[in-house]
């Protein structure tokens, strides 16, 4: 059994061609490069045509499915297969699961672009039949026409942006020994590029930002307009407010190391005070909350999403305790984001990473190398991992942006 497939993109620099050839061999088939045209510059696209030979139809089908996620498509593509969803929140067997790469679906001879670029969703044909949507399983309704299998689906790698090569070069590997100076210079340059392009900068933060004394630094970054959206949990907001009201984080003075009297209750008192005020915004309006990260978000109209957890105290009034609602709100706020910082949080960083398009630069900072590696393994080709404590990173980032 034979079939020709074609590849287009930055096949050499992004190692797409080698990955496709490896996939063909691992699945038990053989290949022949029929044609290969390599771009002359870094901006030029390359194109390759491969003849795939398999011992039987089943292996050939597996190979075509395996290389499709890498952007390979049949020379003569077949239309996508559609099947109705059997019930609300239930997908047909073998439904196509999306990647975070730009995706198109062949319907009635026309390639339809999937607007949403997010991994692990289903592709659903809209009722008007001229649009394909990527939807979470929970949003699919009985009878919705869902794409099944890889046939008629093609993915591509985002076009390389100016300055991306250096950023990607610096992102190779995760190491605590990697020199931080050049990394931070590239990050600062990336922030400026993103801002100049009119895109937004997201920060996903954990309570370590407050515990390490970096709360005022993040507060200043927000006030100066460098951060456009904040994702966090109940903990970051609660301890930020605790610091603003009592000068402590987890009962320990941020400027010292001796626990305060009854300090173990400070974060609970802080949450209670905000609940009494009705909301964080209400506490700012009343004058109760006069400084801190959350104060800066409210006064500078920086949207924030606080997603709840089973371990939360309180929680604060703005915390979204329904996980599906929190996920949906996060998706809404990701519109227009070009760069995401993930600092000192495992749960929220991974959750956000799963929602991001491959077009979004991600910078994951954590003192635990395992967290950084896990984020980089999520599949983004535009991710940078730095093993570093939250305070040091934010301090150096702020200095770089101020110069």
Q: What is the pLDDT of residues 259-305, one digit of tens each?
A: 667 778 999 999 999 999 999 999 999 999 999 999 999 999 999 99
Note the pLDDT of residue 64. Answer: 87
Say whether pLDDT at 29 is over 70: yes
Which CATH number covers residue 288? Answer: 3.40.50.10690
**Structural domain for 306, as ranges:** 164-402
Identify whether residues 353 and 311 lie together within a single domain: yes
Say whether pLDDT at 163 is over 50: no
Last residue of one domain, picked from the residues 48, 75, 102? 75
The pTM assigned to this predicted structure is: 0.85
State how beta strands 248-249 and 252-253 pair.
antiparallel
Sequence-distant (6+) residues with CB within 8 A of 382 are: 164, 167, 168, 171, 358, 359, 360, 361, 362
Identify whether residues 327 and 398 lie together within a single domain: yes
3-class state of residue 73 by DSSP: strand
Identify whether residues 82 and 65 lie together within a single domain: no
Note the pLDDT of residue 172. Answer: 47
What is the pLDDT confidence band of residue 13, given thresholds at 50, 70 and 90?
A: confident
Identify whether residues 343 and 289 lie together within a single domain: yes
**Across residues 100-113, what is the average pLDDT?**
92
Residue located via tokens 């703005």: 318
Note the pLDDT of residue 314. Answer: 93
Distance separating alpha carbons of residues 253 and 207, to the nearest angstrom: 15
- In this structure, what token pair is assigned to residue 311? 């371990």
Which CATH number covers residue 150? Answer: 2.40.420.10
**Across residues 365-376, what is the average pLDDT?**
83
CB 218, CB 394: distance < 8 Å = yes
Identify whether residues 193 and 256 lie together within a single domain: yes
**Across residues 85-111, what is the average pLDDT?**
94
Identify whether residues 287 and 361 lie together within a single domain: yes
Identify whether residues 203 and 152 lie together within a single domain: no
Distance separating alpha carbons of residues 302 and 284, to the nearest angstrom: 14
Distance separating alpha carbons of residues 34 and 355, to the nearest angstrom: 38
Say whether pLDDT at 171 is over 50: no
**Across residues 126-140, what is the average pLDDT?**
90
Say whether pLDDT at 44 is over 90: no
Identify whether residues 235 and 339 lie together within a single domain: yes
Identify whether residues 186 and 292 lie together within a single domain: yes
Last residue of one domain, picked from the residues 53, 75, 97? 75
In total, how many domains does the chain have? 3
Identify whether residues 371 and 360 lie together within a single domain: yes
Last residue of one domain, picked from the residues 75, 106, 123? 75
Identify whether residues 41 and 82 lie together within a single domain: no
Instruction: Give the rounded percent of residues in the chain with a pLDDT score beyond 90.
Output: 66
3-class state of residue 272 by DSSP: helix
Note the pLDDT of residue 137. Answer: 97
Among 143-152, 153-162, 179-188, 389-398, the range scoring the smallest mean pLDDT is: 153-162
State how beta strands 200-205 and 110-113 pair.
unpaired
Say whether pLDDT at 167 is over 50: no
Identify whether residues 373 and 338 lie together within a single domain: yes
What is the pLDDT confidence band of residue 162, given thresholds at 50, 70 and 90?
A: very low
What is the pLDDT confidence band of residue 381, given thresholds at 50, 70 and 90?
A: low
Which CATH number covers residue 52? Answer: 3.30.70.2690
Note the pLDDT of residue 177. Answer: 57
């Amino acid at each position: 059994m034979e079939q020709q497939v074609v590849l287009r993109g930055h096949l050499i620099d992004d190692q797409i061609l080698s990955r496709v050839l490896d996939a063909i061999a691992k699945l038990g088939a053989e290949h022949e490069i029929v044609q290969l045209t390599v771009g002359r510059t870094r901006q030029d696209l390359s194109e390759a045509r491969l003849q795939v030979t398999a011992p039987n139809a089943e292996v050939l089908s597996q190979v075509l499915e395996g290389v499709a996620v890498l952007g390979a498509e049949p020379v003569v593509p077949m239309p996508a297969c559609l099947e109705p969803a059997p019930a609300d929140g239930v997908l047909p067997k073998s439904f196509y699961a999306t990647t975070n790469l730009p995706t198109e679906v062949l319907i009635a001879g026309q390639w339809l672009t999937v607007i949403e670029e997010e991994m692990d969703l289903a592709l659903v044909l809209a009722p008007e039949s001229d649009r394909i949507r990527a939807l979470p399983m929970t949003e699919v309704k009985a009878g919705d026409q869902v794409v099944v299998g890889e046939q008629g689906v093609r993915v591509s790698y985002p076009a390389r942006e100016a300055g991306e090569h250096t950023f990607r070069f610096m992102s190779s590997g995760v190491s605590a020994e990697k020199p931080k100076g050049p990394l931070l210079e590239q990050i600062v340059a990336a922030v400026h590029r993103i801002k100049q392009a009119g895109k937004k900068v997201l920060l996903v933060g954990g309570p370590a930002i407050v515990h390490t004394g970096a709360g005022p630094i993040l507060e200043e970054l927000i006030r100066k307009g460098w951060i456009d959206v904040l994702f966090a949990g109940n903990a970051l907001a609660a301890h930020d407010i605790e610091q603003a009201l009592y000068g402590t984080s987890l009962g320990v003075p941020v400027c010292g190391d001796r626990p305060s009297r009854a300090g173990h209750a400070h974060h609970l008192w802080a949450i209670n005070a905000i609940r009494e005020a009705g909301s964080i915004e209400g506490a700012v309006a009343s004058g109760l909350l006069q400084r801190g990260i959350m104060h800066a978000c409210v006064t500078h109209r920086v949207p924030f999403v606080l997603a709840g957890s089973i371990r939360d105290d309180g929680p604060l009034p703005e915390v979204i305790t329904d996980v599906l609602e929190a996920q949906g709100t996060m998706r809404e706020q990701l519109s227009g984001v070009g760069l995401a910082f993930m600092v000192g949080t495992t749960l929220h960083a991974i959750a956000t990473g799963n929602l991001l398009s491959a077009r979004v630069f991600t910078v994951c900072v954590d003192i635990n190398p395992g967290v950084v590696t896990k984020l980089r393994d999520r599949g983004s080709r535009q991710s940078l991992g730095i093993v570093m404590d939250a305070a040091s990173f934010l301090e150096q980032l702020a200095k770089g942006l101020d110069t």
